[in-house]
Chain A
């Protein structure tokens, strides 16, 4: 029973192509649809990178799935006992192996160059007059103080289109400071100050959630913030009680 005679690969190539197309469509649609609406340049870049990486990965996944489908279609032995030896007993195929390594290396290099480029853009931070906010985590709330003022608040309000620098620390255990709509995250460590930069580019509310397990009420260490116009922000700041 020669189930392993050479079948044409045309079907495989078509399936590969079709799955790639489906993968690319999903790659373009899904990140923006599933992820929180972007409110900063960092988040725009994150979503774009998700799309680019997904598109790059689509032919790889499609190839593996098409090959699997091809095997299931053509190479399953239908007899009841041990199948005979396969007619082709290939042990090596140097061209295929080298090609495979080259292709995966090229893909990796591309992802890496994109990633390093995106990292440089992402780190940004060269505006001359950024707003500096000191963030302090403690079990289980966040507090924010605005440098150059005496304002300390439990809500984070940011002005539109102005760079913000966060200086982040913790009073007790490690917390994770994350703004879900802005693609920025860093730990708040006791005894150290960590830094984040971003520029909010959209008005509205955003969510701050703790991403490091920090004890009993970790799940409730959430707070909302707001991006306001420069005028609105100045008014808000002026209306806050001054710390002694």
Chain B
């Protein structure tokens, strides 16, 4: 750095960024939001019906721009526009050189810092969504319970759903496609380090907007927020729509970055067939996200137009169509499930190989399964619309595409079980959560097949059966995969093991909790209880009581896990750089990995799955 300084003797790197952090971002976001609100209030026509929606959208824009400004996201573009682009010293400052823990609160371009920030962000989103889940389940503890106000409850349903979706979209890809993928492929950083910081802090800005909905009258209209019901929501709906738009910017930037990094920055010899399988999963999921999330942005942008300037794209009484919105929404909504699932499965392939001391079984099949799933997932969206009345004649074709999903999904079991088969399985925390995944994912898969069948869907759609099914996917499968990934890579991040004892207690609480909660919820649904109920009749009493007890168990388990993460991070057992004796590059660099990871980029001669046994 000193040599660089001689070339730029006027000042050290960083400039304005030296004064910017999360706190200035919050302050600046609030100030800009207030300014936008104030200007809106005094310049817009107060007599139009959509006045308050217009003000709300302006306020949300103000918050986002202010947050970007306050965190430092606009410094780089500003300097570039004014012809004073970053010097090497500036880049090193932005990468957090010599800033200790303060860099975790800043616009830091080091992919490892961004990875850790994503871990924290995932925990914040999961925690908030989890608290709402506990409120929902407590309301449903007994028939006719009055734990929360009915309108507030309805808002909790939507915000719980959206928070958890966001949490799981980033739960594996956020921390690990950022922290480990660049090291895995032998790169100094991501292809676009500043965009990497942008994606993280844009997610924070979006989460702020989403939480604002709770403060401004919430969103008592379900998480899919389809018109016309969405038009009965107040300004919470505007903040929600803006949150989604801002979130889409975040995932798009992150997705492009992941793909560009893997395409361009692989080290010498890191051919496509030598890539660790998790890299493949990250890229496939990122590509699928690039396809899917623009629909989400489109839906919410049009919704904002309908609400603020009186268009009626989605309003049947104005010549539009709610079914148009439903189609656009599910064009995003189904692929999104696999954007969430694929990184978790890919991480489990990695874990299965390392922990059983065997290569990934049928590496090509694993890639084919993930690619096939991603490809099919864009052709199945209308199975969410079997009972809407839209295009009944398309039922057959969509049933076909949906049921074909079983084939690539089946390959996941082949690869996982094939890898573990006759291995020397090391039963540590990551492996434990891996087995939990296998157990739950088969239930998730089979219950999905029922729902793909139209005569059955005509009975079970819109019931708690569907809710239980996708919770087996998201909690039973994706969350288990995400926790396995956390336990697996935790030593690389912190230099310490995630505590085995606390981790095991947490596993058993969550594992049993999931079975209790969602098997009982399947029963509620089979008996005929619709979703999104704030109250129910006596015939659903017992199954709901059991579900609520199970949900408390899951929460208890997650709190134990949170405790384990915090205590292990501070004073857990030191792990050394390569506790699992794995061969992929992230384990071959020191822990913590130095800034820019490698002094000299390594040359790769074989894939990382040669554990030294006979072939």
The residues of A with any CB-CB pair to B shorter than 8 Å are 3-4, 6, 31, 34-36, 42-43, 45-46, 49-50, 53-54, 57, 60-61, 64-65, 67-68, 71-72, 75-77, 82-93, 96-97, 100-101, 104-105, 107-108, 111-112, 115-116, 118-119, 122-123, 168, 172-174, 176, 178, 180, 183-187, 189-192, 194-195, 207, 209-220, 222
Contact = CB atoms under 8 A, between A and B. Distances in A.
A86 B611 contact: yes
Contacts of A119: 395-396, 399, 454-455
B406 A108 contact: yes
B388 A34 contact: no
Given A64-B442, A108-B404, A176 B462 contact: yes
Contacts of B456: 46, 49-50, 53
Contact of A61 (B360, B446, B462): B446
B523 A176 contact: no
Interface stretch (B417-425, B473-481, B504-512): B417-425
B387 A87 contact: no
Given A35-B526, A215-B232, A219-B533, A77 B425 contact: yes
B458 interface: yes
Given A77-B426, A87-B613, A115-B453, A92 B362 contact: yes
A213 B228 CA distance: 11
B413 interface: yes
B154 A64 contact: no
Contacts of A118: 453-455
B317 A77 contact: no
Contacts of B410: 100-101, 104
Interface stretch (B6-14, B65-73, B218-226, B545-553): B218-226
Nearest to B319: A191
A71 B420 contact: yes
A203 to B, nearest CB: 19
A35 B527 contact: yes
B357 A85 contact: yes
Name the prevailing secondary structure of the A interface residues: mixed
A61 B357 CA distance: 26
Interface string B423-441: 1111100000001001100
Contacts of B462: 176, 178, 185, 211-212
Contacts of A64: 413, 417, 438, 442
Contacts, number: 269
A96 B357 contact: no
B414 interface: yes
B267 to A, nearest CB: 23
Given A53-B449, A84-B613, A96 B232 contact: no
A195 B389 CA distance: 8
A219 B389 contact: no
Nearest to B358: A86
A190 B421 CA distance: 55
Interface string B374-417: 00000000000001110010011001100110110011011001
A100 to B, nearest CB: 5
A68 B413 CA distance: 11
B531 interface: yes
Interface of B: 150-151, 154, 157, 220-222, 226, 228-229, 232, 316-317, 322-323, 356-365, 387-389, 392, 395-396, 399-400, 403-404, 406-407, 410-411, 413-414, 417-418, 420-427, 435, 438-439, 442-443, 446, 449-450, 452-456, 458-459, 461-463, 523, 526-528, 530-537, 580-581, 609-615
Contacts of B406: 104, 107-108, 111
A102 B396 CA distance: 22
B388 A189 contact: yes
Contacts of B407: 101, 104-105, 108
Contacts of A68: 417, 435, 438-439
Contacts of A178: 462, 530
Contact of B388 (A86, A184, A186): A186
Contacts of A54: 446
Complex A-B, nearest 9 residue pairs according to Cβ-Cβ distance, in ascending order: A211-B462, A191-B316, A85-B613, A194-B389, A83-B424, A85-B611, A213-B222, A180-B528, A104-B410
Given A90-B361, A97-B362, A189-B389, A184 B424 contact: no
A177 to B, nearest CB: 9
24 contacts: A4-B422, A35-B527, A42-B455, A57-B449, A68-B439, A75-B424, A76-B425, A77-B427, A83-B357, A84-B613, A86-B424, A89-B615, A90-B359, A91-B362, A91-B363, A93-B362, A100-B411, A174-B228, A174-B229, A176-B530, A189-B322, A207-B528, A213-B532, A219-B534
A86 to B, nearest CB: 5
A107 B403 CA distance: 10
B228 A190 contact: yes
